[in-house]
Structure 1
C-alpha cells in the first residue's frame, strides 16, 4: 500500500498577529480544496502542536477539528519542536498504512512572539533547554554561530559563502507567493547587515514567523477511486530516528546527554542517520534526489545539512554552492521554496511546508521556481533532544 499526498495548503507566512488557529484552518481548507475532498470525508486529524499559544496549541488536533466543525473524526496531537510537522505526518501515514483510515488531514500553524525564541514556562532548572540559556548564554543564534565557526575551521568556508546561501534562497523566495520575504538581496547587503553572533549577521539567521501548512494524505486506492488526475505524489518514507550512543548530535541543547545503551555503535552521526534511514525505507539514495528542502536555520547550517543528508561529501557543499549546482536551474536545487531564510520559523508548520513544496515540485506546479523533471524530493530538519525527521516524496 502507498500513501499519497492528495492535497496541500498553506497560509502566507509573515507577522500578521492573528491566532494560530486562523492560519491552520486556512491552510487546512486550502489542502482540502486542493485534494477535492470534503471536511466530512476526513477520518483522522493530526495537529502539530504550538507551545506558545495556550492550551489550544497543546491539543492542536482537537483545536483544528473543532474549528473546522465537529464531524466525529479521530484526532491526535504531537510536539517535537521543529520536527513536529514531520512526526504529525508520520502518525497520519502510519494509520493509513495500518488500514485504519483512508483520509487524514495534517495541520501545523504558529503565531510567534517578536524576536528570537526563548524557553517557555519560566525557570526550569531540570530542563537542558532552559539551562543552555541560563548557564551558557547559548541562545539559538549563539549556537548557530558555533556551528558556523566550526565549519570555517574544518572546511575553510567563508562569510562570503554564507552570504551566497542567503542570496540563493532569497531569489527562490521572491518567486514563492507563500514566503514572508519576497525581495532578492545581494551579498553586499547580507555582509553589511548587523552582526548578531559572530560570524553570523542578521540576514544569515532565519526570523520567527506566523504561518500555517496542511496536507491531505490518503491511501492510493482512495486516490484512484476519487478520480485523482495527474501524477500521484507518494510519501515514500518518513524517518524520525533518535541518536545512538555515542554518536549523538553535537548540539548545545544536548550538552547534558549522559545516556548509553548496549547497542552497536551507529555508522553515521545523528543528523546523517536521520536522512539515511529515510533512504533505506524508500529504497533510494542521495543520487536519486531531484531537489531537497533542508533546515536552514542559518546560512551555515544549510551547508552542513547538505553534507549530512548525503548530497555531497563533508566539506564539498561550498563547492556545489559556488558552482551554482544548488540554485534554481542547477543540477540539485536546495531549498527551492526559499527555505527558512524566506519564510522564517513557524515551528509546527515547517516540516509540513517542506512536504508542500516537495509535492508542488513533483506535480510540476511550482511555476517560476519549478525544478525540471523532478521525481524525488527530500526534506530534513531537526528538533531538540534527539527529535529529527526526514521525508521522501516520489512520483
Structure 2
C-alpha cells in the first residue's frame, strides 16, 4: 500500500528512576534504534522529537536537542507535543515527511525524566483547559479519575476488584520477561488486593507509576528499505490522531471565546473507540485481524475499557474476555505483551513510541519469551490530555 512506511529499527533505554537527563536516555535509545536498523546517524534525513514539558527548554525542542546530542549533521528537525500521544504524533509527522517525499529515512525519539508522585499541571494557569480545571478546581489527579472510571465500570458492567487485579497479574508476568521494564516481578491477585488504597476502589498496584525512560524508531520509505536490504520489514500502515466529537464542555468563562460553529452533536461512539475505528479504516483491517495489541493501561480498569473500544469484544464484556484468557499469552488477542504501563510506568513522550517498538519486535518474531506465535498485525492505542489520542497499526 502506498501509505506504508518501513520500521527499520527499534530501540529503548530501560525504564526506571535513574536520576539523569532525558537527553541521555533518548540518545541511548536513538543509538540502539540506529544500530538495529543498520543505519548511520549521518545518513538520517530528518529527526522528529517527542517533547517533554518537564525537561526545561531542551524538552520543548526535543528534536533539536537530540540532533545536537547525536551530532549536528544537517538533518531536518521537528518537535511534537501531544501529551501522552506525543510519540504517536511524532511517528505520524515522520510518516508524513516520508510519504511526501521530503525524507527517505527518519529517526523518531521520545524520552522523559519524570518527577516522583502524581503528575501536576505544567505550563501555568489554563482556565480554558478542562484537564487543568480537573486538577485545580476539583483536585482530581489522575488516580482520582481512574478511580471514578473504575467505579463506573463496576456500576454499569458489574466489573469487580478481582477483575481489575487480574489485569495487573497478567501484565506483571509479561513485564517480568521484558529487560526494558522497570518492574520485573510477578505479582498475585492477593498482593494487588493487599496494596494500599490510592483512589478507591483502586489500589497502588492497580495504577501505573511515573518513570524515566526512552524509545526510538528508524522509519523509512519502502524504496529505501529495499535498497537497504530489508525485503520484508515491519510496516506502519495507519496512524490515527483524531480528536473527540463532543459538544463544548469547557466552562463559559468571560475570557474564553466560544465558536458556535464548533459545537457539534455528541457521537454515539466513545472517543477511544473513534480513535481505533479511524486506524482500522485507514489500514483496511478490523479487530478480527489483530494478532497483538499494546494499550494504555494507566490503570487496570482502563485496560478493560480498551478491549471494548478496540472492538475485541462487545460493550461491557472486557472483564469476561480477560477471564477467558483471550488477552493473555496464547489467547486470541494478547494485550500488553510488553508488560504495559503496569510494568513500565509513564515516561510520557516515549510511551507511544515504546508501544510500536513492542509491536515491531512481535511482528518480527524477536520478542523472546513474550513472543506471540505467528503475529502479523499489531495495534497500539493511547489517550492523552486535551483531546490528544492515537492508534498505530503495524503489519508484516
TM over 0.5: yes
> Which whole-Å deviations, capped at 9, do the CAs of 1:104-150 have from their partners, x for residues lacking one?
11000000111111112444445433322221111100001110000
> Which whole-Å deviations, capped at 9, do the CAs of 1:232-267 have from their partners, x for residues lacking one?
101010000011234x8xxxxx66497763767645
Q: CA separation of 1:44/1:310 partners in 2, compared to 1, >3 Å: closer, same or farther?
A: same
The runs of 4+ residues in structure 1 deviating greater than 2 Å are 121-131, 254-267
Q: State how far apart, in whole Å, the 2-side matches of 1:263 and 1:384 are.
A: 20
Q: State how far apart, in whole Å, the 2-side matches of 1:328 and 1:289 are.
A: 14
Report what 1:213 is aligned to: 215
SS at match of 1:278: helix
Q: Is the 8 Å Cα contact of residues 245 and 259 (structure 1) preserved in structure 2? A: no
Q: State how far apart, in whole Å, the 2-side matches of 1:16 and 1:26 are.
A: 13
User: 1:303, CA displacement in angstroms?
Assistant: 0.3
Q: State how far apart, in whole Å, the 1-side matches of 2:113 and 2:38 are.
A: 28
Q: State how far apart, in whole Å, the 2-side matches of 1:15 and 1:110 are.
A: 10
Q: How does 1:158-237 map to 2 (within 5 A)?
A: 158-228=160-230, 231-237=232-238
> Which whole-Å deviations, capped at 9, do the CAs of 1:84-121 have from their partners, x for residues lacking one?
00000000001101111100110000001111111124
Q: Is the 8 Å Cα contact of residues 128 and 251 (structure 2) preserved in structure 1? A: no
Q: State how far apart, in whole Å, the 2-side matches of 1:201 and 1:53 are.
A: 29
SS at match of 2:272: helix
Q: State how far apart, in whole Å, the 1-side matches of 2:312 and 2:123 are.
A: 39
Q: State how far apart, in whole Å, the 1-side matches of 2:51 and 2:362 are.
A: 27
Report what 1:240 is aligned to: 241
Q: Is the 8 Å Cα contact of residues 7 and 218 (structure 2) preserved in structure 1? A: yes
**2:144 is equivalent to residue 142 of structure 1:** yes
Report what 2:338 is aligned to: 337
**2:353 is equivalent to residue 327 of structure 1:** no
> Structure 2: which 5+ runs fail to align?
253-257
Q: How does 1:112-123 map to 2 (within 5 A)?
A: 112-123=114-125
Q: State how far apart, in whole Å, the 2-side matches of 1:334 and 1:194 are.
A: 26
Q: Is the 8 Å Cα contact of residues 379 and 391 (structure 1) preserved in structure 2? A: yes
**2:76 is equivalent to residue 74 of structure 1:** yes
Q: Is the 8 Å Cα contact of residues 104 and 218 (structure 1) preserved in structure 2? A: yes
Report what 1:312 is aligned to: 313
Report what 1:33 is aligned to: 35
TM-score (norm 1): 0.95
Q: Give the RMSD, CA atoms, in angstroms.
A: 1.6
Q: Is the 8 Å Cα contact of residues 80 and 86 (structure 2) preserved in structure 1? A: yes
User: 1:268, CA displacement in angstroms?
Assistant: 1.8
Q: State how far apart, in whole Å, the 2-side matches of 1:93 and 1:52 are.
A: 26
Report what 1:251 is aligned to: none
TM-score (norm 2): 0.95
119-128 or 379-388: which moved more? 119-128
Q: State how far apart, in whole Å, the 2-side matches of 1:136 and 1:341 are.
A: 26
Report what 1:54 is aligned to: 56
Report what 2:276 is aligned to: 275
> Structure 1: which 5+ runs fail to align?
249-253
> Which whole-Å deviations, capped at 9, do the CAs of 1:288-311 have from their partners, x for residues lacking one?
000110110000000011111111
